[in-house]
């Protein structure tokens, strides 16, 4: 069982780290195909040597020790900024979008035990998902899938089941961003698949602080694993499907409580 301080720290630290990772990916480089002939061809030994050299260079920490192009470290108790790097630069935020989506969804005070049906529209272009067409899933379980393993189809279903039209839900996401003082944040869809969903490290830190203090979000995002069952039509009957969702937050699997000396078990 995590202490309140560890639970709050885990969501803030991990999600800010996600933002840093999303923003730090280097632009693709042009590489010659070593299997091709002609001027672009290089002997295998030379190619391996170059790869090893590049790998060694990539492992060296940049000045300041932060690989991300944009980052921020904030004390959640005081709001004090402990470290920042390009914290006001606007960049795509990927699946951190889902935090705002869930905040708006929970504002509607939904019955989380209510069942929802998965449709082909929910699955189209959603990427990897455990959900199947016509499957019946509780909103509570979809919420866990959204926050624990960033399931895009589950997120779409939550929006559909919110009782708001998609355009109204999106408008509320942007309105809430302004209410929270996220002046450099903009959403154009609900999952983060669109790179036009943008924010800054500073705005993300503010959003994370709000999310970490929302009891449902806090409980789900600090849960290591979650199991549930759903139903799906099979001929004239329905069959049960078992699901197990593992949290992708690696900080939840740490060995120490905050403040513990190295080597002291929690």
pLDDT of 115 = 98
Of the residues 9, 70, 98, 199, only one is catalytic, namely 98
Digit-coded pLDDT (tens) for 43-59: 444 555 555 555 555 56
Question: Please, what is the end-to-end C-alpha distance for the chain in angstroms?
Answer: 10
Comparing CA positions, the residue from 188, 153, 154, 146 lying closest to residue 171 is 188
What gap in Å lies between CA 61 and CA 92, rounded to an integer?
23
Are 187 and 177 in contact by the 8 Å Cβ rule? The answer is yes
177 C-beta neighbours (distance < 10 Å), count: 22
24 is catalytic: no
Largest CA distance in the chain: 65
Among 9, 95, 162, 230, the one annotated catalytic: 95
201-220 pLDDT, tens digit per residue, is 999 999 999 999 999 999 99
Predicted model pTM? 0.76
CA distance 184 to 200: 6
Choose, from 70, 150, 162, 230, the residue flagged as catalytic: 150
C-alpha closest to that of 71 among 82, 85, 81: 85
Contact in structure between 225 and 117 (CB atoms under 8 Å): no
**Predicted pLDDT at 226:** 98
The SS3 of residue 135 is coil
- CA separation for the pair 87, 199 (Å, rounded): 10
Return all residues near 52 (Cβ < 8 A) that are at least 6 apart. Answer: none
* Catalytic residue list contains 98: yes
- Residues contacting residue 203 through CB under 8 Å, at least 6 positions apart: 177, 182, 183, 184, 185
- The reported pLDDT for the residue numbered 47 is 52
Ranges of residues in the chain with a pLDDT under 70 are 1-59, 255-266
Where are the extended beta strands (E) located within the chain?
Answer: 71-74, 81-85, 91-92, 115-117, 136-138, 198-199, 225-234, 237-246
Question: What per-residue confidence (pLDDT) applies to 76?
Answer: 85
Domains of the chain: 4-23+67-253 (3.40.710.10)
Annotated catalytic, 95? yes
C-alpha 266/C-alpha 252 separation (Å) is 13
Express each pLDDT in 231-250 by its tens digit: 999 988 999 999 999 999 88
């Amino acid at each position: 069982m995590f202490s309140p301080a560890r639970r709050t720290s885990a969501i803030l630290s991990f999600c800010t780290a996600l933002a840093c990772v999303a923003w730090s990916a280097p632009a693709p480089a042009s590489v010659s195909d070593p299997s091709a002939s002609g001027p672009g061809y290089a002997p295998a030994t030379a190619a391996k040597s170059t790869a090893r050299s590049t790998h060694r260079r990539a492992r060296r920490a940049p000045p300041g020790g932060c690989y991300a192009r944009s980052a921020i470290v904030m004390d959640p108790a005081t709001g004090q900024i402990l470290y920042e790097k390009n914290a006001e630069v606007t960049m795509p935020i990927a699946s951190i979008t889902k935090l705002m989506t869930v905040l708006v969804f929970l504002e509607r005070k939904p019955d989380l035990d209510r069942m929802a049906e998965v449709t082909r529209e929910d699955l189209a272009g959603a990427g990897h998902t455990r959900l199947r067409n016509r499957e019946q899933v509780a909103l509570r379980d979809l919420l866990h899938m959204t926050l624990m393993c960033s399931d895009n189809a589950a997120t779409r279903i939550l929006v559909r089941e919110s009782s708001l039209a998609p355009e109204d839900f999106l408008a509320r996401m942007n309105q809430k961003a302004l209410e929270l003082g996220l002046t450099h944040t903009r959403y154009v869809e609900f999952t983060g698949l669109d790179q036009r969903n943008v924010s800054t490290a500073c705005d993300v830190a503010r959003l994370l602080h709000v999310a970490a203090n929302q009891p449902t979000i806090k409980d789900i995002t600090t849960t290591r694993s979650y199991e549930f069952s759903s139903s799906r039509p099979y001929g004239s009957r329905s069959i049960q499907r078992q699901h197990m969702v593992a949290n992708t937050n690696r900080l939840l699997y740490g060995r120490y409580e905050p403040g513990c000396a190295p080597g002291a078990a929690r």
